[in-house]
Amino acid sequence: MKHFLLFLLTLALRGAELHFALAAEPKTVDPFLVADEPAEAIRYLTEGSLVRVNRLTQQPEPELAESWQVLANGRKIVFHLRPGVTFPDGRPFTSADVADSFSKLLAPGLHSPIADPFRTAKGTVKVTAQGKYTVVAEFPEPVPQALRLFDQVSMVSAAAAQRPAPGLGPFLIAERKPGVSILLRRNPAYWKRGLPRLDSIRIEILQNRDLELLRFRRGELQLIDKLTPELFDRLRADSPASAMDAGPTLDSEFLWFNEAPRAPIRGMAREWFQSKNFRRAISLAIHRDDLCRVVYRGHASPAAGPVSPSDKIWFDQALKPDPFDPAGAKKMLAAGGFRLEGNTLRDRAGNAVEFSIITNAGSVTRQQMAAMIQQDLAQIGIRVNLVTLDFPSLLERMTRSLDYEACLLGLVNVDADPSGLMNILLSSASNHPWNPAEKSPQTDWEAEIDRLMLAQASTADAAARKKSFDRVQEILHDQEPIVYLLHPNALAAVSPQLEGVTPVPFFPHTFWDAEHLDVRAKQ
Amino acid sequence: MAALVLLAGWGSAMLLRDAPGALVDERELNPRAGEETIAALRHNRARERSVAANLASYLRGLAHGELGFSESNHTSVAALIADRAPRTLRDVGCGLTLGWIAGLAAAVLVARFPRAWPCDVAFLGASAIALSLPAAFLAYLAMLAQATPKLVLAVVIAPEIFQYSRNVLRDGYGAAHVEMARARGVSESAILARHVFPAAAPPLIALAAASVSMAIGAAIPIEAICDAPGLGRLAWQAATARDLPLLINMTMLVALATTSAMTISEFFVRRGNR
Amino acid sequence: MKVLRLVAVMFLTLAGITVATADVWEKHGYDQQFREFPDASPSRRFPLGTDALGRDRLARLVYGTRVSLLLAPAAALVSCALALAAGGIAGLAGGVAERAILAAADLFLSLPWFFLLLIARASLPLNVSPAISVTIMFLLLGVLGWAAPARVIRASVRELRHADFILFAHASGIAPWRILAAHLAPNLRPVLRARFWIAIPAYILAEATLGMLGLGISEPLPSLGGLLRDLESIDISSRLWLLAPAVLLAAVMLSLQVLRPADPTL
């Protein structure tokens, strides 16, 4: 009888199909190996987690865990699971599934980037089942904001023979045509009664952004999660109600110089890049307001550091983006031993200052920014050569050969918490941009950043963490190893047919509340 | 031909091995990834790039009908090709058919009716303009006009067909035996069917084979721009993603099509020259 | 036809002079950014408007055409020279050598050319000027383009191989390379000329295609391909002046087609 009523309820609530596109094929649909945005989109829609960070409020909310207690100064979290939740095959969801999911996630051979934040210098988290609906997670040392980490971990059935397996999210993968489309259908066993409202979601793989907008205008797609600034303005001119600007994202665009001693670059170039005066002068010479106004058409904010102003908790209000000040830049360079001869800047040895900036082909905004930076630096006598490379070639130079001088790139920041930047700001990290994998910090200020980042990562005291991370931001602002340029806004297109969409600056910008979305029938 | 196809596959594998970016994985840039994960990604990638080991296992798999696994699409290459090939074959087939019909019909018209010189000028002008623009740009215009890739391919192929067939058919109509047939009162349709076309057949068949090669070459930028899920876009993706198994197979497919077309073309050129 | 050829010559001459003297008459450089006027419509100051960074579109069109018009013939020369050597040796030697060279040509035609260009581009030194980097790219296109004309030249050499004057040259003991250079090459002039004129527009188009795929010339140096790529993400239906690069490309290509000598192999 219960099943019959459920069936009737499902029929009554039968919704339509949502169509949107992803820019690339997900590299995997294994929820434990998700490392790119398209894969994360599929995981977000099809998997359930103990805790879900509400993308609107940025606060963790109960999901498969209906409550929890944080104990022992953040070293222990006791989760109380929601009873009555079942997998699509009818198996009940219990603490055994949670323990098993973590066991698989943390398996040494898996090398999951989702698992890495659960590992600290002192060891790995232990997740044990205590009773049918209680799970205890014990960390060897306090992990700040540990609760938020559980948002990324999908709960997989212990009985699943392989991954992906039908999960606990609002939708299930019904069909997958690699490189073409993915069809998700409503999960009939979803634990939130009456949800999702949509019957299915068809996600197409479309690399061409113009084509995506064309199809949106034709009504074939109801959502575009990320629009370029030109396309956004074009849409806004025709259908202002469909174009939504959710404000600055957590992402940033920046430029950095290769300071690695082992990099096969000219010695004189390395000397320039290692000069704080040189880096600060570059920062002062770049017109950030123009970059925001011209390239991003006003849909971006100048950046003072790695943290976006939309991150209200961690953004250091005292820091301001460097103003456009070519005169100040020249003074800074003069203080660093550089001199301007006519239109050419020369170093102490009389060498003309000239270097190359690499960036990825396929990003029109980055190429435009690079061209503007080239002109800005020409005003202070620096000649810049721009080289656009396809992404693998760019990565090769950045991470292997280190055969580059300066690089213009962006960071898609998935985590508002500073611990998300550990693998970039720690001097020993492979992704430490200006000097990867240092055996020991090359400078005092890098040593101080290391100390502060490790300090904030080992305490749950919010005030202490804020103090440490504010100091990190001040050092970065002062030393400028990375010249932060701007934070782009979240620009989305939402069809008037779609109900329940509230775009947010954090990924996923438009379908973060997919279970409440619905498509009205066309009139 | 088989040796050439295998050589082409091996050649593309060697190119990929030495290509910048062959050993990198974008997932290394994930800010969450710890050092062990990054090291594991690099190790796996380096293992995949061992050409000798991979080529040997690839050939073994080929003997069993397996074409390898595409990392960038996370599925078997055989399944990918089976999924995408019909689309490309359809687009290329329709594009070639439409292109040939349009090109040949226009050529027959201007060759048969010398008085239709305004049409000749118009067709020459239109074909010259179509030949003057890159296939990628035509694809972009087609995308704006919501036209399909097959139409773009037809627009790319038809002008070459028209210009070449026009010359060949005009030569055919100018032959002495055609004049003789006309003088004997043979109907124009019979002249076309029994005298002009048979003489024009060898170079036209050679052109047909060459046009297949042309269409395959044009399909890559067209599918990349129109985002059509065919073999052309797959080939582009294989190169940009440094997907070794996929690139080897796509190169071999292209080599097979190209060498077949060249061989057929050569055969009919030689036959026509006898 | 004569009128058409005359018009084509006049157009190409005018275009050539215009682009060659651009430094004299063009008010703005191709890279000068007028950031207060991004995406401006045509005006007296900017006859073809400005692009997204406020750069004069007319200046970029003129300099972009200069790049293509200068370098495409250079690339065509390189590919014809290589094709003559390969096709000549294949046609003259015959037998195993001929088959080997033809197989190499087929192999070259089968390899993914865009991948070769992608690798070449990524391997170029970083601190070369855009002018040198674009020259290298075009020369690479030329080197990669030898295979198709080599086949045609091979076919022509095969026909000439048994001509009396070649047999006489052989009988006189003249070295094969000298036969190729001094006797065959002059007789291949019509074929080579036709191939050269076919190759020029092909290389202009190849660069334009690369530009549209995002692998073209680096900023700020403009090229016809890069200018065509600028049309993406722009609503051209209400801004038809944006089609100027396409119109100019079509006009240049048309003129080259009209002036192209007849291909004796067809």
Sign of the four-CA dihedral B161, B167, B170, B171: negative
pLDDT score of A14 more than 80: no
Q: What is the DSSP letter of A250?
A: S
What pLDDT sits at residue A314? 92
Q: For residue C241, what are the contacts with CB-CB under 8 A and spacing of at least 6?
A: C41, C42, C48, C49, C57
- Which of A40 and C198 is assigned the larger pLDDT? A40
Side-chain half-sphere CA neighbours of C158 within 13 A: 17
pLDDT score of A523 more than 60: no
Helices (H) and strands (E) in chain A, counts: 15, 24
Q: What is the pLDDT of residues C93-117, one digit of tens each?
A: 888 888 888 888 877 777 777 777 7
Distance of CA B238 to the CA centre of its chain: 17
What pLDDT sits at residue B165? 86
Establish if A392 touches chain B: CB-CB under 8 angstroms: yes
What pLDDT sits at residue C228? 79
Alpha helices, DSSP H, located in A405-457: 422-425, 444-457
Task: Give the Cα separation of A490 and A503 in Å (integer).
Answer: 8
pLDDT score of A155 more than 60: yes
SS3 state at A243: strand
pLDDT band at A444 (very low <50, low <70, confident <90, very high): very high
Residue from the list B74, B80, B84 with its beta carbon closest to the beta carbon of A28? B74
* Chain C: closest CA distance from residue B127 (Å): 10
pLDDT score of A42 more than 90: yes
Element (H, E) at C190: helix C189-212
SS3 state at A158: coil
Task: Give the Cα separation of B41 and A67 in Å (integer).
Answer: 37
pLDDT score of C209 more than 80: no
Q: What is the pLDDT of residues A423-438, one digit of tens each?
A: 899 999 989 999 999 9
Q: What is the pLDDT of residues C41-65, one digit of tens each?
A: 999 999 999 999 999 999 999 988 8
> Cβ contact (<8 Å) for C252 and B240?
no
Establish if A111 touches chain B: CB-CB under 8 angstroms: yes
By the 8 A CB rule, do A304 and A323 touch?
no
Tally Cβ neighbours within 10 Å of residue C113.
18
Per-run averaged pLDDT (10 residues), chain B, 274 residues: 75 74 80 84 74 67 78 82 87 90 90 83 81 75 79 86 84 82 85 83 78 80 79 80 82 79 71 60
Contact list in A for residue C33 (CB cut-off 8 A) is: 371-372, 375
Residues in chain C: 266
> Cβ contact (<8 Å) for B21 and A393?
yes
- Which of A462 and A287 is assigned the larger pLDDT? A287
Task: Give the Cα separation of C101 and A287 in Å (integer).
Answer: 56
Residue from the list B4, B19, B129 with its beta carbon closest to the beta carbon of C107? B4
What pLDDT sits at residue B121? 80
By the 8 A CB rule, do A49 and A155 touch?
yes
pTM (2 d.p.): 0.87
- Mean pLDDT (whole number) for A231-260: 94
Q: What is the pLDDT of residues A120-152, one digit of tens each?
A: 778 889 999 999 999 999 998 888 788 889 999
Task: Give the Cα separation of B175 and B165 in Å (integer).
Answer: 15
Establish if A376 touches chain C: CB-CB under 8 angstroms: no
By the 8 A CB rule, do B32 and A414 touch?
yes
What pLDDT sits at residue A80? 97
Establish if A212 touches chain C: CB-CB under 8 angstroms: no
Q: Which residue of C has its CA nearest to B265?
A: C151
Q: For residue C182, what are the contacts with CB-CB under 8 A and spacing of at least 6?
A: C174
Report DSSP letters for A183-225, one per residue. EEEE-TT-SSTT--S-SEEEEEE---HHHHHHHHHTTS-SEES
pLDDT band at A522 (very low <50, low <70, confident <90, very high): low
- Which residue numbers of B have CB closer than 8 Å to C's CBs? 4-5, 7-8, 11-12, 15-16, 18-21, 128-129, 131-137, 140, 144, 164, 167, 213, 220-221, 224-225, 235-236, 239-240, 247, 250-251, 254-255, 258-259, 262, 269
Q: For residue A82, what are the contacts with CB-CB under 8 A and spacing of at least 6?
A: A62, A64, A65, A66, A93, A133, A191
Distance of CA A142 to the CA centre of its chain: 24
Task: Give the Cα separation of A488 and C252 in Å (integer).
Answer: 41
Q: What is the pLDDT of residues B73-116, one digit of tens each?
A: 778 888 888 888 888 888 889 999 999 999 999 998 888 887 88
What pLDDT sits at residue C214? 64
What pLDDT sits at residue C212? 66
- Which of A30 and B243 is assigned the larger pLDDT? A30
pLDDT score of A246 more than 60: yes
Maximum Cα–Cα distance across chain B: 88
What pLDDT sits at residue B52? 56
Side-chain half-sphere CA neighbours of A428 within 13 A: 10
What pLDDT sits at residue A10? 52
Q: Where are the beta strands (DSSP E) in A3-159?
A: 17-22, 51-53, 60-62, 65-71, 76-81, 119-120, 123-124, 126-129, 134-138
pLDDT band at A402 (very low <50, low <70, confident <90, very high): very high
> Cβ contact (<8 Å) for C219 and A370?
yes
- Which of C25 and A88 is assigned the larger pLDDT? A88
Q: ∠A218-A220-A226 over CA atoms, to 5°?
A: 95
* Chain B: closest CA distance from residue A382 (Å): 29
Establish if B75 touches chain A: CB-CB under 8 angstroms: yes
Token pair 């089976």: residue: B82
What pLDDT sits at residue A220? 93
Report DSSP letters for B186-255, one per residue. --HHHHIIIIIHHHHHHHHHHHHHHHHHHHHHHHHHHHHHHT--SHHHHHHHHHHTT-HHHHHHHHHHHH
- Which of A521 and B228 is assigned the larger pLDDT? B228
> Cβ contact (<8 Å) for A388 and C127?
no
Task: Give the Cα separation of C237 and B154 in Å (integer).
Answer: 24
Q: What is the pLDDT of residues C74-96, one digit of tens each?
A: 899 999 999 988 988 888 888 88
By the 8 A CB rule, do B158 and B104 touch?
no
- Mean pLDDT (whole number) for C201-225: 77
pLDDT band at A369 (very low <50, low <70, confident <90, very high): very high
Alpha helices, DSSP H, located in chain B: 2-18, 35-48, 51-63, 77-112, 117-132, 135-144, 149-173, 176-183, 188-191, 197-226, 231-240, 244-273
What pLDDT sits at residue B89? 87
Residue from the list A113, A413, A430 with its beta carbon closest to the beta carbon of B27? A113
CA dist C176 to A308, B13, C78, C85, C154, Å?
A: 72, 36, 22, 12, 15
- Which of A500 and C120 is assigned the larger pLDDT? A500
- Mean pLDDT (whole number) for A190-213: 92
Percent helix, strand and coil across chain C, each rounded to 5?
70, 0, 25
What pLDDT sits at residue C154? 84
* Chain A: closest CA distance from residue C130 (Å): 8
- Mean pLDDT (whole number) for A444-458: 94
> Cβ contact (<8 Å) for A391 and B26?
yes
pLDDT band at A51 (very low <50, low <70, confident <90, very high): very high
High-pLDDT (> 90) share of chain A, %: 73
- Mean pLDDT (whole number) for C227-237: 71
Which phi and psi angles does A355 have, rounded to 5°? Answer: -150, 170
Contact list in C for residue A389 (CB cut-off 8 A) is: 121-122
What pLDDT sits at residue C1? 65
> Cβ contact (<8 Å) for C110 and B224?
no
By the 8 A CB rule, do A376 and C201 touch?
no
What pLDDT sits at residue C265? 54
Which range of A342-346, B200-204, C179-183 scores highest in mean pLDDT? It is A342-346
CA dist C86 to A39, A284, C152, C158, Å?
A: 50, 57, 11, 13
Interface probe, candidates B29, B47, B220, chain A, greatest A C-beta count within 10 A: B29
Task: Give the Cα separation of B86 and B49 in Å (integer).
Answer: 30
Task: Give the Cα separation of A114 and A149 in Å (integer).
Answer: 8
Contact list in B for residue A208 (CB cut-off 8 A) is: 143, 225-227
Rounded to the nearest integer, the mean pLDDT of chain A is: 91
Instruction: Report the range of poorest mean pLDDT among A159-173, A196-210, A333-347, C217-231.
Output: C217-231
Task: Give the Cα separation of B49 and B14 in Å (integer).
Answer: 10
By the 8 A CB rule, do C69 and C252 touch?
yes
- Which of A287 and B172 is assigned the larger pLDDT? A287
Side-chain half-sphere CA neighbours of A467 within 13 A: 7
- Which of A347 and A391 is assigned the larger pLDDT? A347
Contact list in B for residue A37 (CB cut-off 8 A) is: none
pLDDT score of A12 more than 70: no
